[in-house]
Chain A
Amino acid sequence: MSDSVQLPRWIDVGALPLLNLLLALVVSGLVVLAIGESPTQVVEILLYGAFGYEEAWGYTLYYTTNFIFTGLAFAVAFHCGLFNIGAEGQAYVGGLGVILAALYLDFLPFPIMLIVAILAAAVFGAAWAYIPAYLQARRGSHVVITTIMFNFIASSLMVYLLVNVLRPQGSMTPESEQIAEHLRLPFIHDIAATFGIEMASSPLNLSFVYALVCSVLVWLFIWHTRWGYAIRTVGANAVAATYAGIEPGRYIIMAMMISGALSAFMALNEVMGVQHRLLIDFTAGYGFVGIAVALMGRNHPFGIFLAALLFGMLYQGGAELSFEIPTISNDMVVVIQGLVILFTGAMEHMFRPRVTRIYTAWHLRRRAQEAA
């Protein structure tokens, strides 16, 4: 490969991921064909379900909110060379922080409550991520295995708490009490209504705005602060970082705690914004989708926003799809998600040699023409 030239940036961060995404979607189409449905009809229903009417937009962006948080969470850890598979558990425990604050500090006025809830989510999520981070940094256990284990531990712990501690007396369903009316995150359609704009009601709430704020903050943090630089250095080469006077352990813990906090913000959307109480398994796999979102978005907040939007569309369109075509359930979205992770994540290098060869040939021919 010595005669190949460096690929330009637009191919590296644009064309190659798009090519992989396209392949994932083509294979998804084949799956649809295999179960005897028409892929074009599926695409039509998906797009209509996601963007076809005003309410659909709200739902799409509501799902997008969750994926922005979990995608950012995965990306921050990834920049430090860590695979945080534990977003699911961190978000779950973060939800505990939010609900405890909302139920026990319900005398606070809303603006203060909002700050308290954000802090509570961050502290609980970060604390849950701290243990695997500490074990990786100081005791050499692998963060992938420990975060997977911590997902299960979180799940057991939360079931215990919901069944035995948080469940209101006399209620049979394992869920917490409702958050007081004045402490709920306002819906976007309610905010719009106060300005006299009429919008269809949807679960889209203020946390979407917070997700965008977090995206900008993560971008600033990773590329424009000393800590972000150190985190990326550790991620690129921990040994070199040590020689450069950066102590990897410190930044591993820092990156994981930020990652845990970001995952936990998903609870703001779900618990404080939409469900208004803590439900069993409210995380519903959003933590795992975050992996796909971050990989597709090349771990950059802007890319993550686009990928989160794509998955928000798939989730909302998928719901419509399962309603329209009975043989296609919501599981279709899970399949697409798996294929996207497979092709854009695990097989990201598949087309690179071929594309490099084609580009090199083209490049050399053009240079030869210029010389002539």
Chain B
Amino acid sequence: MDNFELVILLLDATLRTSTPLILAALAGMFSERSGTINLALEGMMLGGAFSAAAVAYYVGNPWAGLLAAIATTICLSLLHGFACITHKGNQVVSGMAINILMSGLTALVGIALFAQGGKTPSLDHASRFQPITLPGADAVADVPVLGSIYSELLSGHNILVYVAFLAVPAAWWVMYRTRFGLRLRAVGENPGAVDTAGIGVVAMRYRAVICSGVLVGMSGAYLSTAQGASFLQDMTAGKGYIALAAMVFGKWRPFPALFACLLFGFLDAAATRMQGVILPGIGEVPVQLVQALPYVLTVVLLAGFIGRATPPKSLGRPYVKER
């Protein structure tokens, strides 16, 4: 039973650590499926996390924070779009610029507003997303195995965790079962054909980056108002890049990306738990090795050693209407 509980706790932590990755990975997917590389996930996440924490602190309501985060990330998405889609600038450079800009700006504004070394003040109970107990969770808590799976693992998360997991089928449906999704995918594969069909490539790509902004905003808000209780300088700590890696690992598809996020989240949760633990026959596994695994796995996948990851055909290419 002890081991079972340990597994439940580990999986529980996995859900919590993979939530921001799932939202950001879906965000990356919308943008990249339309042909715009989104390296800016990290910076957008930071911007979202900061806005969410600052506004939630002033208003005293996490929902206001969430809206502020989404508004911020939509603005950043539009900036990215303005550079990449309208001015046909380099998408990699634009993404890096937004990441660097937000790393500095969040800290600078944080110091100007709160004078706490770039941190936002701690949020009280009412300004954070609280755990939700699913119906009947307490009643079945004593039922062996299934009871604790339901009450410990599935119940007791905040709303953004559930939103993230529901966003995956939703994204799949939008992407593969709606006209919008069909056009969005087409614009990333063959913008010329889409243009010939009388659909505006630029407008489609802008819509895609806005979708991306909405999702990554939620991811940022989760970090500072659900998982944590304040914004800390550079609190994303590479999660945006991990999400990008998960998206590539999931081959630009919603469900595989979900599993990649869960795998990366699990590795993260395991790394925290494995600190100092000596495994029989192996000895102490360095935490750094576990932490580096998502990156290593992504490189191995990209090298084609475990399946092929084919990006959208016109990814990274601005569309020029006439030559």
| Cβ of B224 under 8 Å from chain A | no
| Cβ of A182 under 8 Å from chain B | no
| Cβ of B295 under 8 Å from chain A | yes
Complex Cα distance, B107 from A329, in Å, reads: 8
Chain B proximity mask over A323-356: 1 for CB below 8 Å, otherwise 0 = 0000111011111111101100111111000000
- Docked-complex contact A31 and B108, CB < 8 angstroms: yes
A320 to chain B, nearest CB (A): 16
Chain A proximity mask over B291-307: 1 for CB below 8 Å, otherwise 0 = 11001101100111000
| Cβ of B109 under 8 Å from chain A | yes
| Cβ of B103 under 8 Å from chain A | yes
Which stretch from A94-102, A154-162, A266-274 is at the chain B interface? A154-162
With both beta carbons as reference points, the residue of chain A lying nearest to B105 in the complex is identified as: A335
With both beta carbons as reference points, the residue of chain B lying nearest to A140 in the complex is identified as: B304
Complex Cα distance, B146 from A254, in Å, reads: 58
Chain A proximity mask over B86-103: 1 for CB below 8 Å, otherwise 0 = 011111111011111111
Q: Per a CB cutoff under 8 Å, which of B99, B103, B111, B244 touches A327?
A: B111
B63 to chain A, nearest CB (A): 26
| Cβ of B104 under 8 Å from chain A | yes
Chain A proximity mask over B108-135: 1 for CB below 8 Å, otherwise 0 = 1101100100100000000000000000
A289 to chain B, nearest CB (A): 9
Complex Cα distance, B37 from A345, in Å, reads: 15
With both beta carbons as reference points, the residue of chain A lying nearest to B102 in the complex is identified as: A338
Max chain B C-beta neighbours (<10 A), residue from A149, A328, A339: A149
With a CB–CB cut-off of 8 A, which chain A residues contact B109? 35
Chain A proximity mask over B274-317: 1 for CB below 8 Å, otherwise 0 = 00000000000010110110011011001110000001000000
A347 to chain B, nearest CB (A): 5
Complex Cα distance, B111 from A334, in Å, reads: 14
Q: Per a CB cutoff under 8 Å, which of B39, B104, B289 touches A332?
A: B104
B69 to chain A, nearest CB (A): 19
Q: Per a CB cutoff under 8 Å, which of B79, B89, B91, B241 touches A348?
A: B89
| Cβ of A359 under 8 Å from chain B | no
- Docked-complex contact B108 and A85, CB < 8 angstroms: no
- Docked-complex contact A288 and B291, CB < 8 angstroms: no
- Docked-complex contact A347 and B104, CB < 8 angstroms: no
Max chain B C-beta neighbours (<10 A), residue from A140, A335, A346: A346
With a CB–CB cut-off of 8 A, which chain A residues contact B194? none
Q: Per a CB cutoff under 8 Å, which of B83, B88, B92 touches A144?
A: B92
* Given A329-B118, A341-B96: A145 touches B245 (CB 8 Å cut-off): yes
In the complex, number of A-B residue pairs with CB atoms less than 8 Å apart? 149
- Docked-complex contact B302 and A338, CB < 8 angstroms: no
With both beta carbons as reference points, the residue of chain B lying nearest to A349 in the complex is identified as: B87
Chain A proximity mask over B134-175: 1 for CB below 8 Å, otherwise 0 = 000000000000000000000000000000000000000000
| Cβ of A139 under 8 Å from chain B | yes
Chain A proximity mask over B219-257: 1 for CB below 8 Å, otherwise 0 = 000000000000000000010010011001000000000
Beta-carbon contacts under 8 Å, A148-189 to B: 148-150, 152-153, 156-157, 159-160, 164
With a CB–CB cut-off of 8 A, which chain A residues contact B56? none
* Given A345-B93, A349-B89: A141 touches B238 (CB 8 Å cut-off): no
With a CB–CB cut-off of 8 A, which chain B residues contact A336? 104
Chain A contact surface mostly: helix
| Cβ of A360 under 8 Å from chain B | no
With a CB–CB cut-off of 8 A, which chain A residues contact B39? 144, 148
* Given A145-B245, A157-B288, A160-B288: A152 touches B238 (CB 8 Å cut-off): yes
Interface size class of A (residues with CB under 8 A): 35 or more
Chain B proximity mask over A289-300: 1 for CB below 8 Å, otherwise 0 = 001100100000
| Cβ of A306 under 8 Å from chain B | no
- Docked-complex contact B89 and A334, CB < 8 angstroms: no
With a CB–CB cut-off of 8 A, which chain A residues contact B184? none
With a CB–CB cut-off of 8 A, which chain A residues contact B291? 156
- Docked-complex contact A152 and B295, CB < 8 angstroms: yes
With a CB–CB cut-off of 8 A, which chain B residues contact A85? 92, 96
Chain A proximity mask over B62-100: 1 for CB below 8 Å, otherwise 0 = 000000000000000001001110011111111011111
Complex Cα distance, B39 from A85, in Å, reads: 11
- Docked-complex contact A291 and B103, CB < 8 angstroms: no
A37 to chain B, nearest CB (A): 9
- Docked-complex contact A145 and B248, CB < 8 angstroms: yes
* Given A31-B105, A327-B111: A334 touches B100 (CB 8 Å cut-off): yes
- Docked-complex contact A345 and B286, CB < 8 angstroms: no
Complex Cα distance, B183 from A172, in Å, reads: 58
Beta-carbon contacts under 8 Å, A15-36 to B: 31, 35-36
| Cβ of A224 under 8 Å from chain B | no
8 contacts between A and B (CB under 8 A): A83-B92, A145-B248, A148-B244, A152-B238, A160-B288, A331-B104, A345-B89, A345-B97
List chain B positions with a Cβ less than 8 A from chain A: 37, 39, 79, 82-84, 87-94, 96-105, 107-109, 111-112, 115, 118, 238, 241, 244-245, 248, 286, 288-289, 291-292, 295-296, 298-299, 302-304, 311
Beyond known contacts A146-B302, A152-B238: 16 more, CB 8 A cutoff = A35-B112, A85-B92, A150-B299, A153-B292, A159-B288, A291-B93, A332-B104, A333-B104, A334-B101, A334-B104, A334-B107, A338-B101, A338-B105, A342-B79, A342-B98, A346-B91
The 8 closest A-B pairs by CB, nearest first: A338-B101, A334-B104, A141-B302, A346-B94, A342-B97, A156-B292, A335-B104, A341-B97
